A and B are shown apart, each in its own frame.
Chain A
Amino acid sequence: MTDMPNDAAKTPSHGPSRRDFLRTAGLAAGGAVVGAGANAASPDPLITEVQPYASFLGEGVDATPYGMPIHFEDHVVRRNVEWLTADPISSINFTPIHALDGTITPQGCAFERHHSGAIEMSKDEYRLMITGLVERPLVFTFGDLMRLPRVTRVHFCECAANSGMEWGGAQLNGAQFTHGMIHNMEYTGVTLRTLLDEAGVKPEGSWIYVEGHDASSNGRSIPMEKALDDCMIAFSANGEALRMEHGYPVRLVVPGWEGNLWVKWLRRIGVHDGPMESREETSKYTDLMPDGRARKWTWAMHAKSVVTSPSPQMPIGHGPGPMVITGLAWSGLGKIARVDVSLDGGVNWQTARLGTEPGDKAVTRFYLDHDWDGQPMYLQSRAIDETGYVQPSKEQLRAIRGLNSIYHNNGIQTWYVNESGEAENVEVS
């Protein structure tokens, strides 16, 4: 590990310090002639000179038994907005969606939301209980769950408050902060239907109440119809065990519905004849309307999209010419059918190319291959799902819901991109 060639490989002459890494590539091409297909003014030393990594040896296997992203990617991390909450233990951070591509969110940078902190619980300590209006109240160990028929499905999990800071106007300057309370993972686990069948739901059991092992317990009520439709408990995400911050060893997956229902460290499933009206489904996660009354049971996350690049954290760094406009689209009502992109703030729209086969209640990637003329753009995207629901504008939402509903803001986002390619969060009129 400390022999000379390896060290040298890690410290080439031009120094890959953190301060330099974003700059290095940029300077290497400095002085070249502007224009696509142009000739270089002078040979590129990255090509003509033998680089340390082309001569010395790199790291051997097992240098990192569990690999982390190369340090050049250290900036691709979850970020917190400290002033949002009183304490980081009951708080939220944001997925760096601006810096990711494809659709699957790596667990290590998928947003976290805790109500009493992320708890440490082993698989051996884990117990799940089913109680209430069932023929057989049951206790499962983690091992027991592994013996039940298993399914693997991809779904997005979006906090109801994603974009909630934007109700009053453009506030946070970055896709990570305006739209980063979402992740999209491939979950493996057992359907709630399988578990509830084991316990035998009595005819009067019309709701379940789910709660976690942590001090908040974050209890939520879910109608039996949804529980039996597509809910599952998950013990794996993206092929490996859940991370502690996402509910290791077992969390609930409630496809298409707000993230608060996806109870982590799932401890108990109670079967009842009505909703519990817990703290999280009355005082929180209800939508205050302009008349002072509030909508409740607004579980489904409606169709939404955002351009992730270019965006404030991911400006256009080059001049006019070919570029890729890309983003994410999702709907809690089903599959994404289409995504439109506007370059002029919604005057004219063109349909983007879907980069992946849309999945049910899963994130879809879209691309617009664009020939930029170097002029300012007002970038917007508009998701349309298979039910025909069209992502509304913020004005449309505010006309109905006012400014104080906090949750379920799925309005169309605008990034203003200036001549230099820098992007910022704006609202347009």
Chain B
Amino acid sequence: MSKCRKLITTTALITVFGAVPALADTLGVGRLALPEEIAAWDIAVMPDGRGLPEGRGNVLDGEDYWIDQCAVCHGDFAEGAGAWPAIVGGRGSLTDDRPEKTVESYWPYLSTVWDYINRSMPFGAAQTLETDEVYAITAYILYSAGLVDDDFELSNENFTEIRLPNEGGFYLDDRAEAEFPEFTQDPCMSDCRDPVEISARATDIDVTPEFPVIRYSYSDGSAPAPAAIEEADEASVQPEEAPAEEAIQTASLDPALVAAGEAAWRQCRTCHQLGDGARNGTGPQLNDIIGQTAAHADGFRYSPAFTEAAEGGLVWNEETLDAFLENPAGLIPRNRMSFRGVRSEDERAALIAYLMSYSN
């Protein structure tokens, strides 16, 4: 390796470009990172608070942001909604049959909460929160966990004063000491135990998705059991291209615009579904939305703001959708769609065309 490396180093010295000086022990590939670039990406926060930007936010502001940005998945009181995680609660449950692992009951460090909200939340719109909003939302979580009062303000200055209840609940991997002595015994090869009995079967629980069973033919005449094949056939039939999608394409739509809308749809599909089999998820399914009164999706739990807008006669057409997509909170204040809107008019037009391609 060292010989080879020397050879490559020599070659690199001749062809190197960029700002990195090729030191004796380096190849000089790449370039120096600029301070602005490091600031943009090196945003991680350590448990001792290193990496925290200056800022502050209080519980009451945090509650507002929470309702707007977080409650749709995590519940109004951070108790969780549907299959999405609860953020608080569960203290004392870690030895239960069904432990609840939340920020309050399990997470060791507040820095983790701040860092994760800052870089990855809201789900589907990461890195859209302002620094002070992250402080405020974190403060609201602390309040919901019963760790601070409602007049609390969290800032980079008092951040490390806050300790989470389970900070002491972790210890380093001790498998080498706790398990290896037992798991490195010479393995027994014969008469190792009493004859076995079945104590549990997966088929009794019956939560496995359907799957095809693979069978071959054999010259000894063995043929697959007919029942098993039927099951296999049913499960192995892949759904064909949804014919409904094509059938409802409207002739007047510009295919290029619809295609652009499909690309832009990426920012919506986290929460919304379209097409054959579309279901309500975090957000309502949006088939046939054009011409419908707001809050159209059966079975979706809309926010009170949305229901009021529907009662007020809001109907989805190109104009209202454009206004809503540009600024969701502007058209329907205090609705719960965690989405800041689409600035580009072209992109909004494309999205609307794409929605129209799924409307009759």
Contacts and interface: CB of A to CB of B under 8 A. Distances in A.
Interface of A: 18-19, 22-23, 25-36, 38, 40, 74-75, 79-83, 85-87, 89-90, 98-99, 115-117, 129-132, 136-141, 144, 147-149, 169-174, 176-177, 194, 197-198, 200, 209, 211, 215-217, 219, 267-268, 270, 272, 274, 276-279, 282-283, 286, 288, 290-300, 302, 312-315, 317-319, 321, 340, 344-350, 378, 382, 384, 387-392, 396, 400, 403-404, 416, 420, 422, 424-429
B184 A288 contact: no
B229 A22 contact: yes
A96 to B, nearest CB: 9
Contacts of B123: 90, 116, 215
B200 A286 contact: no
A317 B26 contact: no
B170 A293 contact: yes
Contacts of B31: 138-139
B113 to A, nearest CB: 8
A295 B4 contact: no
Nearest to B221: A32
B238 interface: yes
B315 to A, nearest CB: 30
A23 B224 contact: yes
B236 A22 contact: yes
Contact of A291 (B95, B101, B180): B95
B238 A74 contact: yes
Nearest to B211: A313
Contacts of A427: 198-200
Contacts of A313: 211-214
Interface in B20-67: 20, 23, 25-33, 37-38, 41-42, 44-47
Interface of B: 4-5, 8, 12, 20, 23, 25-33, 37-38, 41-42, 44-47, 82-84, 94-95, 97, 99, 101, 103, 106-109, 111-112, 115-116, 119-120, 123-124, 126-127, 169-175, 178-180, 182-185, 187-203, 205, 207-209, 211-225, 228-229, 232-233, 236-238, 270, 281-282
A138 B46 contact: no
B236 A131 contact: no
B284 to A, nearest CB: 15
Nearest to A399: B182
A294 B238 CA distance: 42
13 contacts: A19-B233, A22-B214, A22-B233, A169-B205, A171-B205, A292-B95, A298-B175, A315-B215, A317-B224, A378-B196, A426-B198, A426-B200, A428-B196
Nearest to B182: A396
B218 A317 contact: yes
A126 B173 CA distance: 35
Given A22-B215, A29-B217, A428-B197, A149 B109 contact: no
Contacts of A278: 44, 112, 115-116
B221 A89 contact: no
A420 B228 CA distance: 11
Contacts of A194: 27
A138 B30 contact: yes
Contacts of A312: 202, 213
Q: Which of A286, A297, A299, A392 has the most CB of B within 10 A?
A: A286
Nearest to B215: A317
B186 to A, nearest CB: 8
Given A32-B219, A290-B95, A140 B190 contact: no
Given A19-B233, A22-B212, A26-B224, A270 B42 contact: yes
A171 B205 CA distance: 6
Contacts of B236: 18, 22, 74-75
Q: Which of A194, A294, A319 has the most CB of B within 10 A?
A: A294
Contacts of B225: 420
- 5 closest Cβ pairs, A-B complex: A345-B196, A86-B83, A215-B126, A292-B94, A425-B202
B44 A26 contact: no
A33 B221 CA distance: 6
B44 A390 contact: no
B226 to A, nearest CB: 9
Classify the secondary structure of A's interface with B.
loop
A265 to B, nearest CB: 13
A216 B118 CA distance: 10
B173 to A, nearest CB: 4
Contacts of B111: 277
Nearest to A77: B238
Given A274-B46, A292-B94, A292-B169, A149 B8 contact: yes
Contacts of A82: 209
Contacts of A140: 29-30
Contacts of B8: 149
B107 A295 contact: no
B200 to A, nearest CB: 4
B216 A25 contact: yes
Nearest to B236: A75
A272 B46 contact: yes
A277 to B, nearest CB: 5
Q: Which of A99, A276, A286, A299 has the most CB of B within 10 A?
A: A276
B29 A279 contact: no
Given A87-B282, A283-B106, A295-B171, A27 B217 contact: yes
Given A198-B27, A346-B196, A388 B184 contact: yes
Nearest to B186: A390
A256 B27 CA distance: 29
A349 B188 contact: yes
B173 A148 contact: no
A347 B82 CA distance: 45
A144 B29 contact: yes
A174 B211 contact: yes
Contacts of A302: 175, 183
A282 B112 contact: yes
Q: Which of A22, A90, A129, A382 has the most CB of B within 10 A?
A: A22
A32 to B, nearest CB: 4
B202 A384 contact: no
Contacts of A87: 83, 270, 281-282
Nearest to A166: B202
Given A136-B32, A426-B200, A390 B184 contact: yes
Nearest to A191: B1
B119 to A, nearest CB: 5
A137 B46 contact: no
B185 A390 contact: yes
B187 A30 contact: no
Given A217-B119, A296-B170, A389-B183, A23 B229 contact: yes
A290 B215 CA distance: 43
A131 B189 contact: no
